[in-house]
Amino acid sequence: MKTFKMGGIHPKEYKFSAGIQIQTASIPQQAIIPLGHYLGGPSLPVVQKGDKVKVGQMIGQASGFVSANVHASVSGVVNRIDVHLDASGYKVPSVFIDVHGDEWLETIDKSAEIKRECTLSSAEIIKRISDYGIVGLGGATFPTHVKLLPPPGKKATILIVNGVECEPYLTCDHQLMIEKGEEILVGVTILMKAIDVKRAIVGIENNKKDAISLMQKLAKTFVGIEILPLQVQYPQGGEKQLIDAAIGRQVPTGTLPIEVGAVVQNVATLFAVYEAVQKNKPLFERIVTITGKSLKNHGNFLARLGTPLANIVEQAGGVPEDTGKIVAGGPMMGRALSSLEVTVAKGTSGVLLIPALEAARKNMQNCIRCTKCVVACPMGLEPFLLMSQSERSMWTEMENERVMDCIECGCCSFACPSNRPLLDHIRYGKSIVGKIIRTRQAKK
Amino acid sequence: MVNQLLEKLYEPVRLKNSTNFKNLLAAGKLSNSMNKLIISPSPHVHSGDSVWKNMRDVLIALVPAYLAGLYFFGLGALIISFTAMLSCVVFEYLIQRYLIKGSTSITDGSALLTGLLLSFNLPSNLPVWIVIIGSLIAIGVAKMSFGGLGNNPFNPALVGRVFLLISFPAQMTSWPKPIPFNPAYLDAVTAATPLAILKGQFSEIPSTLNLFLGNMGGSMGEVSALALLIGFVYLLIRKTISWHIPISILLTVFIFTGILHLVNPELFSVSPLFHLLTGGLMLGAIFMATDYVTSPMNPRGMLIFGFGIGIITVVIRVFGSYPEGVSFAILIMNAFTPLINTLVKPKRFGEAKKA
Ligand code: SF4
Ligand code: SF4
């Protein structure tokens, strides 16, 4: 069975919420919809205090190319536009909407019927995706339309679909494939049309056998879609790792996947594409996994953007007594939250409640030069070296050691027997080296 | 500035780690209310691996060879191994506690391992006081004076052994004859090692099977190739070490001596297999050269390292005046490790193919 060839680890899976049907999270009394994105420019509000909005109405407009529109997830009245804490730990501009009823825009097709035929042209599809605020739902929230428009001179040859879900605990993509497999595959054909390719590969890790067999059965009714079971290994969901696993090509350092002709999209994104193109529905809700070792009702919830995480966690049985850390996202790359007031954003794939006794890091010891971090690194870097360079502010050396290649997967810190916080230091160095590179390019 | 920043980052973690916090938690005096959440960067899980677990695995891998040593050399082996382990741990404790006045790390098992490895490299009829001196050199000079585990450029056990070899050449080169469960210690009957025999000192050479099982004169832990190989397989299964260093050493020695043997069988009468099975080669290749701290940090470097050790070993064995060269070869290559680490980088993802 295929997998990527360099580095990687195999953390315990703990997929408690696997196979649990998607439930609808209740609509909050007030939705707080963040306008910022982790990547790219923030959206600019196009509504004002006191405005009445319907579900699906645009409330934030993209600023610039790498940015995305934001739509109302609830109907009601705009209470105010103010800053609110988001998962990154910063306060970002957000639209506060007091909820009245649940009135959708009339243009949205709410029926459950699956529409396979797509009559739009490639340009129309891409415009729709951009208008309807579709971003990568795997966590990075990179605007999807940007990936569909290759730089001049480049042409995509294959669409690679990420159904890997390599993070422990999370099951939102898994469950989506089980329940909305056909819609996802229609989404695949739509994107294949948009970027004009004849072939698509859907990579799914082998711990989701039910999803693999279901999708394989469904794929027979489509043309050019191959379902590829992959050996379980983290970080297979990383774009470069997935491309390596699926078509055996390594994206050259410093370039984008399009260099090897690949466009990668996550299954949840494809479902959103399907809804946008076939159902006229902007992106205003997503599946969120709520899980943790001590939690009572693990689950996968369909939640409107802007729902406070506390509400959904409450629905899943409430915060367990012994919780010591709350993470938005998976345990390998998610962000620790200071509060459950944070609301569901486009990139919120899950909430993980970690018991206090497992939450604290152990004391770090000397590096024993065991090479386990080097072996684990999927990018072929030397984390122990980068960490010591970062501690000594050796930025030029770090750049030469290719710190910018680091995908911040955390395999190094995970594997280190001396509990060294490798990624913390590497991330810090990476941010400084990144700044240095940007100022150098600006001067040119 | 960086440190301040990271200091901040870890504040809550330290709080949670303090014994006080754990006591309070155990006594139910702390509810984990929302304002006590730990905030730290990803990843939020850890493999659970630890220094002790790695040391433990190497200790377990040494058990077969230890049993073989006890079988062939009896009481003497028991005495020197315990002396070495105990004195290494005690020296480490004393130095950390009273000289450096810091916390002690004897629980990580590395001193214990150094002690056992040191004794493996000693003849079993060595007086206790010499063993203790060796331990002091290994821990005090080779390890602690460089800053403890992780900072020592040379393999501590080998430094201890080579120091003893140079200081006490007579005692260090009289090996007891292998007699099952030998009750004699200092007065054990001695025998020549096969390598010494080859240097023309004695006449009878043991059969290949005996060489493989370990029925020959030699240091306590080095004789049984079979037992050492069992340990090697265990380490590979546990992924404690990779195959690169041991295999490259053994292969280099085999090929190099094989070529010499083919070119001039008269002058180089020793078969390559004989080279593999005798002296400290197996022990050195599997357990001494693979020491984490003093070996290169990536597979490419490891292969170069192993190749170097192989070549130097053969050169010393065949052309030098010492019958055995593995220890020297490893120490010499230890000195090259930092250079190898700077020059040889791991294979990068998306590395540009050379045109
Ligand atoms: S976080 Fe960076 S350095 Fe660490 S293993 Fe991942 S890619 Fe390598
Ligand atoms: S895993 Fe930890 S102890 Fe091992 S080499 Fe890397 S930093 Fe050092």
- Mutate which of A389, A418, A423, A426 for ligand 2 pocket (most atoms within 8 A of beta carbon): A418
Structure tokens given for B17: 């780690």
Whether B145 has a pLDDT exceeding 80, the answer reads yes
Q: What is the distance between the alpha carbons of residues A244 and A384, in angstroms, rounded to a whole number?
A: 25
A303 CB neighbour count, 10 Å cutoff: 27
Residues B150-200 pLDDT 10s? 999 999 999 999 999 999 988 888 888 888 887 877 777 777 777 766 665
**Strand bridging mode A91-99 / A30-34:** antiparallel
| Whether residue A127 sits in one domain with residue A32 | no
10 Å CB burial of residue A261 (0-12, 13-18, 19+) is middle
pLDDT in tens, A269-298: 999 999 999 999 999 999 999 999 988 889
> Could you tell me if A235 and B42 are in contact, meaning their C-beta atoms sit under 8 angstroms apart?
no
Of A414, A415, A428, the CB nearest to B2: A428
B51 contacts chain A (CB < 8 A): yes
CB proximity A310 to B under 8 Å: no
Average pLDDT over residues A83-89: 87
- Decide if B69 contacts B16 (C-beta within 8 A): no
In B103-217, where does DSSP find H-type helix?
110-120, 128-136, 156-167, 169-172, 194-198, 208-213
In this prediction, residue A38 carries a pLDDT of 60
Nearby residues of B154 by Cβ (< 8 Å), 6 or more positions away = B142, B294, B331, B334, B335
Shared domain for A339 and A381, answered yes or no, is: no
pLDDT of residue B323: 72
> In which order are the strands placed within the sheet that holds A158-163?
A225-230, A200-205, A158-163, A262-266
Two tokens at B193?
């090692």
Same domain, A144 and A70: no
Residue A70: give its domain's CATH number: 2.40.50
**A423 interface with B at CB cutoff 8 Å:** yes
Whether A169 and A225 map to the same domain: the answer is yes
Beta carbon of A374 within 6 Å of any ligand 1 atom: no
Q: What is the pLDDT of residues B71-91, one digit of tens each?
A: 999 899 999 999 999 999 999
Does the residue A211 lie in any domain? yes
For residues A125 and A11, membership in a common domain is answered with: yes
Nearest to A360 among B16, B47, B150 (CB): B16
Closest CA to B55 of B240, B269, B264: B240
Q: What is the pLDDT of residue B34?
A: 41
Average pLDDT, chain B: 85
> Of the candidates A99, A120, A145, which is a domain's last residue?
A99
Residues 6+ apart with CB under 8 A from A256: A151
pLDDT tens per residue across span B108-120: 999 999 999 999 9
**Which ligand lies nearest the alpha carbon of B50?**
2
What residue ranges do the domains of chain B occupy? 51-343
What domain count does chain A have?
A: 3
Looking at beta carbons, which residues of chain B come within 8 Å of A356? 16, 25, 32, 38
Cβ contacts of A380 on chain B, cutoff 8 Å: 346-349, 351
The response to whether residue A176 sits with its C-beta less than 6 Å from ligand 2 reads: no
Strand ranges, E, within B142-241: 175-176, 190-191
Q: Residues B293-350: pLDDT tens digits? A: 999 999 999 999 999 999 999 999 888 877 778 999 999 999 999 999 999 999 999 8
Q: Could you tell me if A7 and A92 lie in one domain? A: no
DSSP annotation of B304 reads H
Which residue from A145, A167, A107 is spatially nearest to A291, judged by alpha carbons? Answer: A167
User: Does the distance separating the beta carbons of A327 and B350 come in below 8 Å?
Assistant: no
Q: Are residues A159 and A255 in the same domain?
A: yes
The burial class, CB within 10 Å (0-12 / 13-18 / 19+), for A272 is: buried
The two tokens of residue A322 are 């012994």
Reported as a pLDDT band with limits 50, 70 and 90, residue B353 is low
Q: In the numeric block, which tokens belong to residue A399?
A: 């750049």
Half-sphere exposure of B177 (CA within 13 A, CB side): 8
Nearest CA to ligand 1 atom 5: A377
For B278, list phi and psi in degrees, rounded to 5: -110, 170
Taking 60 as the threshold, does the pLDDT of residue B19 lie above it?
Answer: no
* pLDDT of amino acid B10: 38
A303 domain-assigned: yes
Enter the CATH code of domain B51-343: 1.10.3430
| CATH number assigned to the domain comprising residue A142 | 3.40.50.11540
- Domain coverage including residue A291: 1-23+111-356
Residues A395 and A418 in one domain: yes
Region A148-170: what's the mean pLDDT?
A: 92
Bridge-based pairing of strands A285-292 and A158-163 is: unpaired
For residue A363, is it within any domain?
no
| Same-domain check for residues A28 and A10 | no
B-interface mutation test, from A85, A368, A408, most B Cβ less than 10 A away: A368
> Which of the 8 DSSP states describes residue B148?
S
State which of A51, A72, A99 marks the end of a domain. Answer: A99
Task: Tell me, yes or no, whether A295 and A412 share the same domain.
Answer: no
CA distances to A319, A323, B21, B201 from B27, in Å: 20, 16, 10, 72
pLDDT in tens, A353-389: 999 888 888 889 999 999 999 999 999 999 999 999 9
Residues B205, B206, B211, B215, CA torsion sign: negative
Residue B284: the pLDDT is 95
Nearest to B158 by CA among B112, B119, B192: B119
Task: Identify which ligand lies nearest to the alpha carbon of A416.
Answer: 2
- A120, amino acid identity: L
3-class secondary structure per residue, A356-413: HHHHCCCCCCCCCCCCHHHHHCCCCCCHHHHHHHHHCCCHHHHHHCCHHHCCCCCHHH
Query: Are B44 and A336 a contacting pair at CB < 8 A?
Result: yes
Same domain, A309 and A212: yes
The ligand placed nearest to the CA atom of residue A401 is 1
The residue in chain A having the minimum alpha-carbon distance to the alpha carbon of residue B2 is A391
Q: Are strands A323-328 and A350-355 parallel, antiparallel or unpaired?
A: antiparallel
Residues of B in contact with A372 (CB under 8 A): 49
| A chain contacts of residue B105, beta-carbon cutoff 8 Å | 365
Of B36, B40, B45, the CB nearest to A336: B40
Q: Which is more confident, B207 or A431?
A: A431
Residue B36 has pLDDT above 80, yes or no: no
Mean pLDDT score of chain A, rounded to an integer?
92
Between A44-58, A81-95, B228-242, the lowest mean confidence (pLDDT) is in A81-95
Which residues, in sequence order, are CB contacts of B26 under 8 Å at separation 6+? none
* Closest Cβ opposite residue B150 in set A89, A366, A390: A366
Q: How far apart are CA A193 and CA A29, in angstroms?
A: 40
Q: Facing residues of A51 across strands? A: none
Q: In which band, very low, low, confident or very high, does the pLDDT at A39 lie, cut at 50, 70 and 90?
A: low
Q: Is A414 in the same domain as A265?
A: no
Q: Which residues pair with B138 in a beta bridge?
A: none
Q: What is the mean pLDDT of residues A320-335?
A: 92
- Residue whose Cα lies nearest atom 4 of ligand 1: it is A412
CA dihedral B345, B351, B352, B355 (to 10 degrees): 60
Q: Assign B124 to helix, strand or coil.
A: coil
Q: Is A319 part of any domain?
A: yes
Q: Is B349 in the A-facing interface, judged by CB distances under 8 Å?
A: yes
Give the closest residue (by CA) to ligand 2 atom 6: A373
Residue A433 lies inside a defined structural domain of this protein? yes
Residue A234 lies in a domain: yes
